[in-house]
Amino acid sequence: LLPQEFIRLKRDAQTLPLEEIKHFVQGIADDRISDAQIGAFTMAVYLNGMSREEVVALTTATRDSGHVMQWDSLNLPGPVVDKHSTGGVGDLVSLVLGPWVAACGAFVPMISGRGLGHTGGTLDKLESIPGYDPYPAPERFGQIVQSTGVAIIGQTGNLAPADKRIYGVRDITATVESIPLITASILGKKLASGLDALVMDVKVGSGAFMPTPQKSRELAESIANVATQAGTPTTALLTDMSQPLAPCAGNAVEIVETLSLLRGERPQSRVMQVTRELAVEMLLAGKLAQSRDDALAKLEKALTSGAAAEVFARMVAELGGPKDFMERSEHYLPKANVVQPVYADNAGVVSRIDTRAVGMSVVELGGGRLRNDAKVDHSVGFSAIAEIGDRVDADTPLAFVHAANEDAARRAAEQLKAAINLGQSPVEADTLIQDTFR
């Protein structure tokens, strides 16, 4: 089919022939299809949707539009598994989860992103560590995954190049918010890392990428189903992002929290509960555990023995960071010039948090980017953020702000106060793990 005939079919709400989807996506990767044609296609999909089979075809075509990693030749003695999340605030899950499941026998080639909009990025957080290089050569990436069990790196060159073009066009044609297009975009990239299994963390709430709980649910169901049909068994969890997941948001502050969680501190915190559930799914999908109880026992051992922390330390050293990072992290991590408590104007109980606003405040402090090429200040953010249900008063702050100067600290403090609602009666937080899709 000519591209215009292909686009016409979707414009008229017809079903696309699956072979033609492959052809069109390859044309995008080869630059035979123009941006105008991509824009018309994505708008047609936005308006008329796609069948499950069409989304599977769009996903596999996106995956196959560039290099697809192969792990067979390394004869790894365990499954290759990974996690992906729709992103959030205080969401340091990847940093704990990767080393933790690697310590249980999995191999995790984790390709992570930078902060996007109000959400933090795993790569930005890792780059708080001096020397950490998230762009090793491909062979070196394989070696580190093989020897350490996990490597968290950035996206390089030729992974799902069709998505790069499609996403760029969607961004400027009001066609981002389409479940078929989001599904194929996320999975096209993720499945190119040659996984045996995937878990997906889809967020719901005031800091979530999807605008409503119903849309988050639809995305989770779509991703689990499409990835599995595309040949990579996938489970999606629907988890709460109606407040920062860990009680901190920023880059270095989240690394500090990661280290204490890997040392076994606060094992029942909200972020550890979500991380543990995702880890259980990964061990089950990778056949490293026989049952949920078996998975929990293995995870407990890997944490309390220090094995998970050791894997994290090895990964940091292998990727160019300090060899004694775990022992001397305070010596290495950047510190903000100003660190101050933020007090609420009146005492009360935290009843609601505008999580997106908290994330945007971190961006404004310099912890994220307002422009693509901007530099990130790794030292800034918030720590010890009060959780929903916590009581705050003249002695107990809402959080500590970490800022480059007094002015920035004052602005961020006002933004944080505006983002946190207080009430007078006890409040319970939303359920943390709201659903599971297989």
The catalytically annotated residue of 84, 125, 164, 402 is 84
The catalytically annotated residue of 63, 83, 114, 164 is 83
Closer to ligand URA by Cβ: residue 176 or 432:
176
Residue least distant from ligand URA (Cβ)? 185
To the nearest whole angstrom, how small is the minimum distance from the Cβ of residue 425 to ligand URA?
37
The β-bridge partners of 435 are 238
Closer to ligand URA by Cβ: residue 69 or 176:
176
Closer to ligand URA by Cβ: residue 88 or 286:
88
Q: Tell me whether residue 185 is one of the annotated catalytic residues.
A: yes
Q: Tell me whether residue 122 is one of the annotated catalytic residues.
A: yes
To the nearest whole angstrom, how small is the minimum distance from the Cβ of residue 223 to ligand URA?
11
Beta strands across the sheet bearing 81-85: 81-85, 197-204, 234-240, 433-437
Pairing of strands 197-204, 338-342: unpaired
Specify whether the CB–CB gap between 253 and 378 falls below 8 A. Answer: no
Give the containing element (helix H, strand E) for 5. Answer: helix 3-11
The catalytically annotated residue of 59, 85, 128, 206 is 85
Closer to ligand URA by Cβ: residue 176 or 427:
176
Contact region for ligand URA (CB under 6 A) — 11-19, 178-186, 272-280, 313-321? 178-186
Pairing of strands 420-423, 348-353: antiparallel
To the nearest whole angstrom, how small is the minimum distance from the Cβ of residue 24 to ligand URA?
17
To the nearest whole angstrom, how small is the minimum distance from the Cβ of residue 185 to ligand URA?
3
Specify whether the CB–CB gap between 321 and 333 falls below 8 A. Answer: no
To the nearest whole angstrom, how small is the minimum distance from the Cβ of residue 62 to ligand URA?
10
Complete DSSP assignment for 103-150: TTT-BEEEEE---BTTB--HHHHHTTSTT--S---HHHHHHHHHHHSE
- The half-sphere exposure of 375 on its side-chain side, counting CA atoms within 13 A, is 3
To the nearest whole angstrom, how small is the minimum distance from the Cβ of residue 38 to ligand URA?
13
Q: Tell me whether residue 189 is one of the annotated catalytic residues.
A: yes
- CA 108 vs CA 80, 288, 307: distances in Å: 6, 13, 15
The catalytically annotated residue of 10, 63, 190, 314 is 190
The catalytically annotated residue of 42, 59, 65, 82 is 82
Contact region for ligand URA (CB under 6 A) — 103-111, 176-184, 291-299, 404-412? 176-184
- 111-150 footprint of ligand URA as x/- string (CB under 6 A): ----------------------------------------
Interaction residues for ligand URA, span 180-239 (CB under 6 A):
181-182, 185-186
Contact region for ligand URA (CB under 6 A) — 127-135, 138-146, 177-185, 326-334? 177-185
Complete DSSP assignment for 374-435: PPP-TT-EEESPPPTT-EE-SSS-SEEEEESSHHHHHHHHHHHHHHEEEESS---PPPSEEE
Which amino acid type is present at position 232?
T
Closer to ligand URA by Cβ: residue 202 or 420:
202
Which amino acid type is present at position 5?
E
Q: Tell me whether residue 84 is one of the annotated catalytic residues.
A: yes
Specify whether the CB–CB gap between 176 and 182 falls below 8 A. Answer: yes
To the nearest whole angstrom, how small is the minimum distance from the Cβ of residue 373 to ligand URA?
20
Place of tokens 């390709």: 111
Closer to ligand URA by Cβ: residue 45 or 398:
45
The H-assigned helical ranges of 149-199 are: 161-171, 179-190
Q: Hey, how many other C-beta atoms are within 10 angstroms of the C-beta on 176?
A: 15
Closer to ligand URA by Cβ: residue 24 or 167:
167
The catalytically annotated residue of 60, 62, 178, 185 is 185
Q: Tell me whether residue 82 is one of the annotated catalytic residues.
A: yes
Closer to ligand URA by Cβ: residue 69 or 349:
69
Residues near 301 by beta carbon (within 8 Å), at least 6 away in sequence: 307
The catalytically annotated residue of 125, 164, 189, 402 is 189
Q: Tell me whether residue 417 is one of the annotated catalytic residues.
A: no
Interaction residues for ligand URA, span 155-174 (CB under 6 A):
167
Angle at 168 between CA 166 and CA 172, to 5 degrees: 110
The catalytically annotated residue of 62, 65, 94, 122 is 122
CA–CA distance, 288 with 282 (Å, rounded to integer): 8
To the nearest whole angstrom, how small is the minimum distance from the Cβ of residue 28 to ligand URA?
15
Residues of this chain that bind ligand URA (CB under 6 A): 167, 176, 181-182, 185-186
Residues annotated catalytic, as ranges: 82-85, 122, 170, 185, 189-190
